[in-house]
Amino acid sequence: MRLALAILSATGALLAPLAAQECPAVARLAPAGSVSGTLAPGGCVLTGGSLYSAYRLDLPVRGRIAIDLGGTAANLQLILRGDSDAALDSGASIHRAIEAGSYRLLVAGQTPRDAGAFTLTTAFTAEPSMLCADYPAMGLRQTISNTLGSYGCTAPDGTPYDAWSLTTYGSGTLTATIASADFTPTLTLRGSDGRLLAIDAGGTLTAALTAGSQYILVAASADRGGAYQIAATFEDAPDDPCHALRTLADGDSDNGTVTGGSCAYTLPDSGDQLNYNYYNFTLSAPAVASFTAVSGDFNPTLYVLDEAGNTLAADTLGGGWDASGRPQSSLAVPLPPGNYLLQVFSDVPAGGAYQLQAAITAGPFAPCVPAAANPGDSPGGVLSAASCRTALGLSDLYTVTLPASGTLDLALASPTFPPILAIRDAADNVIVRSPPGGAAAAHISADLPAGTYTLAATAGSASGAYTLTTKFTAHDVPPCAFAQTLDLNGGYIQRLGAGSCRGANGEPVDYYGFTLAADSFVLGVVTSSEVDGYLTLLDAAGNALRMDDNGYGGIDPLIVQYLPAGSYRFAVRDAAASAGGLYEIDLRTVEGPRPPFCGARGTLSPGSSVSGTITYTGCQYTDQTFADIYQVTVPADSTLDLRLNSGDFDAYLVLLDAKGNVVAEDDNSGGGTNARITTPVAAGTYYVAAKPSGDYLSNGAYTLAADATPGTGSGTSSGTGQPQ
């Protein structure tokens, strides 16, 4: 590994000296377990000079997390961040309600002098009777150790399981093994539709996988839980052109070509395909991995992924143009030892030729150093490959001190890149950022208390010159003491904006209070065509119990929760900096015992039927619908006949086995918009999800009937499955 502090472009031209970078979260933090680490000079550094280590925490279901910090090092703190890099919590320990999703946990010194060894101990309690989804990623050539049940997932029959998401690049053969000294493990493989594809034989599973597809690898127990290890290997299909072109080392270069036969990625929204090539690289010690790609045929985009396939860094045209006027992308990312992957994407279907240069630079990692600015300054600058790289992208940072509370107004404009503005605190947590989009200007207006802040002027893609305008108006920022009373089973139309309170991020927020006389199921939803809603449920002490951004689909949030009697509040704000707009908040409550949610509502015997009503008290399914779940026991091998009829919604049926594998599903085989499944099944216990094929707005009355004919028969199914 060489120690040069320079990067050569593909043409051999010397780029600017290696700039400071922010470290991505590579190390995985299990939701239940313990890890050890050390903060030492030469590692990751916050802009204020404090050392930190970053961990990735993935949760496939909501619940309560407990994270405790110990060890010999003094004066360290935990910082828990969401996907926007805003701080959700901090302290020597974090015990809180937490949503399903991916998080970043920092162990950081509170001053530049703080260093030493530390331990992290975690515990997680899942919200009962919920479906797990969006499982943590696992690489096709990776070994993972875990404790069964730590992620809080349970099969329909109540047994715990862990699941891992596998994504292929090209086709090939997967071989996975599972072993445990504590219990008898089982390993199964599902497709993206939730159907069982393979099961282990003696602890080893082998299956052929197709290119560009997602699979779910499920670890479960035949008796009891405990520690286990999964090891996966993957052999590329010899005739598939999508495979790693080579393993890159320091100083390597490659003249490559992206073609229509290269690897392909399908955009989830449009269905369009982007073609790419990829490379492997391995670091034996902490280092900054730097890559530059230049092409005269397309605009290249670079991605660095960890061993599991999580994106760590990306760049599109951040390198500007080379001496020949060709567009180039360039990124540099500080990484711990491990195995990684580099992707080179083309933005045109035809692809074309490109040149790639790699450099590996040993530490120490340098912090991003902000420049000093005063309120009212209008600094200009140029973002380039030599600029600081934050989690948002290429950035110039400015430190500004507000002498009093007031409104900080910022505008960032550039003729060459889509600008992003962010205000960060002393620990680099994002307080507020401009809305995403490709506008030529970004704007933030935030009411903040006196203090020191960091301003990030960022390029969402590309690079070039910019102008940052700052303005400060001093005034008192009154505390938010008022909460509008929200009637139970009522709604309220409001305008978020000038008349609203100001939240911790300096942006408008409206509070709504309600009181439950008895234990109740509660639904809160915000709908708007003007506000990208963000909804938080708070208890009487102001602790956040639930948070949601886009759970209702589009830009609207949805929260469903069973609550004990007491007083609560909803907080409504925009997900980013916004001028606000009209929105409606609705509250629905049902007194009584806790609903079964995704547990079985009852038993449906062959030859019987049940009537019900799909409402928001049902199971939040993975496709933005509510479902009712019923248990069906088939005493002998039979042809099972299920019918779901409704005059209120387009019916959809899913038949699951006891472990959550999809057996069959149907949309309209029952005539009109009714659903019917006729399929042979072995004797055993199954679970039926009766649901609409639409979204959360689809609900109403239904009748579900079951019948079984002993022996085997032919089955019919249609529709699209959802992984469980």
The two counts, helices (H) then strands (E), for the chain are 0, 58
pTM, full prediction:
0.93
Tell me, what's the pLDDT at 198?
97
**What per-residue string of b and e applies to 707-720 under the rule 16 or more CB within 10 Å gives b?**
bbeeeeeebebebe
- DSSP letter at 564 equals -
Tell me, what's the pLDDT at 364?
82
Q: What is the pLDDT of residues 49-100, one digit of tens each?
A: 999 999 999 999 999 999 999 988 889 999 999 988 999 999 999 999 999 9
pLDDT band at 17 (very low <50, low <70, confident <90, very high): very low
Q: CA 631, CA 610: separation in Å to the nearest integer? A: 12
Around 54, how many Cα atoms within 13 Å sit in the side-chain half-sphere?
24
Q: CA 377, CA 468: separation in Å to the nearest integer? A: 8
Q: Would you say how long the chain is, in residues?
A: 724
CB neighbours (10 Å) of residue 192?
15
Around 160, how many Cα atoms within 13 Å sit in the side-chain half-sphere?
17
- From the centroid of its chain, how far is CA 184? 32
CB 668 within 8 A of CB 674: yes
CATH number of 371-472: 2.60.120.380
Q: What is the pLDDT of residues 405-462, one digit of tens each?
A: 999 999 999 999 999 999 999 999 999 999 877 677 899 999 999 999 999 999 989 9
Q: What is the pLDDT of residues 185-217, one digit of tens each?
A: 999 999 999 999 999 988 999 999 999 999 999
Tell me, what's the pLDDT at 272?
85
Tell me, what's the pLDDT at 512?
98
CB 635 within 8 A of CB 697: no
State percent of the chain over pLDDT 70.
95
Tell me, what's the pLDDT at 724?
36
**What per-residue string of b and e applies to 268-292 under the rule 16 or more CB within 10 Å gives b?**
eeeeeebbbbbbbbebeebbbbbbb
The predicted model gives 526-542 an average pLDDT of: 95
Whether residue 622 is predicted with pLDDT greater than 80 in this model: the reply is yes
Cβ neighbours of residue 684 closer than 8 Å, sequence gap 6 or more:
633, 634, 657, 658
Q: CA 130, CA 618: separation in Å to the nearest integer? A: 10
CB 644 within 8 A of CB 704: yes
Q: Which fold has domain 608-710?
A: Jelly Rolls (2.60.120)
Whether residue 718 is predicted with pLDDT greater than 70 in this model: the reply is no
Tell me, what's the pLDDT at 436?
76
Tell me, what's the pLDDT at 291?
97
Which stretch of 191-195, 257-261, 413-417, 695-699 has the lowest confidence by average pLDDT? 695-699
Cβ neighbours of residue 84 closer than 8 Å, sequence gap 6 or more:
430, 433, 575
Tell me, what's the pLDDT at 712?
67
Tell me, what's the pLDDT at 438?
63
- The answer to whether 143-236 and 371-472 have equal CATH topology is yes
Q: CA 88, CA 536: separation in Å to the nearest integer? A: 12
- DSSP letter at 704 equals E
Measured between alpha carbons, how far is residue 543 from residues 92, 407, 503, 535, 548 in Å? 18, 27, 14, 14, 15
**Architecture of the CATH domain 247-362:** Sandwich (2.60)
The predicted model gives 358-364 an average pLDDT of: 89
Amino acid at 31: P
The predicted model gives 327-339 an average pLDDT of: 95
Here the tokens at position 160 are: 């715990």
484-591 carries CATH number 3.40.640.10: no
The predicted model gives 116-127 an average pLDDT of: 97
The predicted model gives 534-557 an average pLDDT of: 93
Q: Which fold has domain 143-236?
A: Jelly Rolls (2.60.120)
Segments making up each domain of the chain, as ranges:
27-126, 143-236, 247-362, 371-472, 484-591, 608-710
- What are the strands, taking DSSP E only, across 363-507? 371-373, 380-383, 388-389, 394-402, 406-413, 419-424, 430-433, 441-448, 451-459, 464-474, 484-485, 491-496, 501-502
DSSP per residue, 127-148: PTT----SPPB--TT-EEEEET
pLDDT: which is higher, 4 or 289: 289
The predicted model gives 565-583 an average pLDDT of: 94
CATH number of 27-126: 2.60.120.380
